[in-house]
């Protein structure tokens, strides 16, 4: 049975294909009597929307969100929130030459092997197009978390070989949005643009890394054994298309440190049990949040659809040379920033709702 739902207390069910009538989601478990900020929802959708800059695909979709259920006079009713986003500018003919060919780096061959059938138009169900509905649902979770004084922000830390310096505070949204790359460091953002444009001219693509930071998360979120906060959020983040790796806090760099260097020493604090001067752990210890900022990075591979000639096979298993035409991002990382924020929000809201059941 295909798994198209995620979450225990707040359940997201995803549906739709890249070149179908539309894409959507059903969000079940969202609390009643919550007033939705539609302006904030539309702004978040615009950040993921295709055709937003010269660095993205030229496919132009308005990504207007329709609420089919769960709302009355702008407030949630407690019923499932059904969201739908119409596909209006798909060009399926761009994919006619791929009907019998398996693209390198794509899930085409695996879909054929698993189901015995596949939708070759834009990747069908495997397309990142379906994440638009995740951003719509995640925007509602972001708004709910803000009301709990929990704030989430993501930004582009690296594209190809262009890497910004580490930051120990949350960058402003204006600094992130100042560049089409969504990198808050201006000199690095400029280098990133040049690298993306060069790859685009050469018919190639680039990958990168998105950093994220969560502030205001109280101590005690997550489970000590099966259900650690990193593991639960990893389920949301690593299900985003094209992700290849995830780390929290110092991540893999922790392997280079000694315990005396990596341990975060506790100090007395008025507002909570304790605080720490450092945050090598990235906001959780033993799988449970420690009230420090939750920090991490998520890596994305280069987009698989490139115009350079590549070697592959057809349905008969014969070798073929192909070029993938159509409208594709030379680097998906900047548009993935709101997707990362949304999936973090959905995962954290699910965990916070579960944590609240422990309270008397």
pLDDT given for residue 206 in this prediction = 96
Segment 100-124 shows an average pLDDT of 81
Segment 82-108 shows an average pLDDT of 80
Question: pLDDT band at 322, cuts 50/70/90?
Answer: confident
pLDDT in tens, 261-291: 999 888 877 655 667 788 999 999 999 999 9
Segment 69-98 shows an average pLDDT of 86
pLDDT given for residue 70 in this prediction = 97
Segment 124-141 shows an average pLDDT of 92
pLDDT > 70? residue 92: no
Segment 26-44 shows an average pLDDT of 97
pLDDT given for residue 326 in this prediction = 64
Segment 78-86 shows an average pLDDT of 97
| Range name among 57-66, 210-219, 251-260 with the lowest pLDDT average | 57-66
Place of tokens 């709990």: 148
pLDDT given for residue 93 in this prediction = 63
d(CA 193, CA 125): 30
pLDDT given for residue 313 in this prediction = 84
Question: pLDDT band at 163, cuts 50/70/90?
Answer: very high
pLDDT given for residue 105 in this prediction = 81
pLDDT given for residue 56 in this prediction = 63
pLDDT > 80? residue 316: yes
Q: Which of 77-91, 229-243, 303-317 has the highest mean pLDDT?
A: 229-243
pLDDT > 60? residue 59: no
| Range name among 33-47, 230-244, 247-261, 310-324 with the lowest pLDDT average | 310-324
pLDDT given for residue 214 in this prediction = 98
Segment 169-188 shows an average pLDDT of 96
For the chain, what are the domain ranges? 5-356
pLDDT > 80? residue 95: no
| Range name among 30-44, 129-143, 210-224, 274-288 with the lowest pLDDT average | 274-288
| Topology (CATH) of 5-356 | Chorismate synthase, AroC fold (3.60.150)
Higher pLDDT, 189 or 49: 189
Averaged pLDDT of the chain: 90
pLDDT given for residue 274 in this prediction = 62
């Amino acid at each position: 049975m295909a798994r198209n739902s995620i979450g225990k207390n707040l359940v997201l069910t995803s549906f739709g294909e890249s070149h179908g009538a539309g894409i959507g989601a059903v969000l079940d478990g969202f609390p009643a009597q919550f007033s939705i900020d539609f302006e904030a929802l539309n702004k978040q959708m615009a950040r993921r929307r295709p055709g937003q800059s010269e660095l993205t695909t030229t496919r132009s979709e308005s990504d207007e969100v329709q609420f089919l259920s769960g709302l009355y006079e702008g407030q949630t009713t407690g019923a499932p929130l059904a969201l739908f986003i119409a596909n209006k500018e798909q060009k399926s003919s761009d994919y006619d030459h791929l009907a019998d060919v398996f693209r390198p780096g794509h899930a085409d061959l695996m879909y054929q092997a698993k189901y015995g059938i596949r939708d070759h138009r834009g990747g069908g169900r495997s397309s990142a197009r379906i994440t638009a509905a995740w951003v719509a649902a995640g925007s509602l979770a972001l708004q709910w978390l803000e009301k709990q004084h929990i704030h989430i922000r993501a930004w582009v830390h690296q594209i190809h070989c262009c890497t910004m310096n580490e930051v120990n505070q949350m960058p402003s949204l204006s600094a992130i949005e100042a560049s089409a790359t969504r990198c808050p460091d201006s000199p690095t953002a400029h280098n990133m643009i040049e690298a993306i444009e060069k790859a685009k001219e050469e018919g190639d693509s680039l990958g990168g890394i998105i950093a994220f930071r969560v502030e205001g998360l109280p101590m005690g979120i997550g489970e000590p054994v099966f259900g650690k906060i990193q593991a639960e959020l990893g389920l949301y983040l690593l299900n985003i298309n094209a992700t290849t790796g995830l780390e929290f806090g110092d991540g893999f760099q922790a392997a280079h440190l000694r315990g005396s260097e990596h341990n975060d020493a506790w100090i007395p604090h008025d507002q909570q049990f304790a605080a720490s001067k450092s945050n090598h752990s990235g906001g959780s210890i033993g799988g449970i949040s420690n009230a420090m900022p939750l920090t991490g990075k998520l890596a994305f591979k280069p987009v698989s659809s490139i115009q350079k000639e590549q070697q592959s096979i057809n349905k008969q298993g014969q070798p073929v040379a192909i070029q993938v035409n159509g409208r594709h991002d030379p680097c998906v990382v900047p548009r993935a920033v709101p997707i990362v924020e949304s999936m973090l929000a959905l995962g954290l809201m699910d965990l916070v709702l579960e944590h609240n059941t422990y309270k008397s």
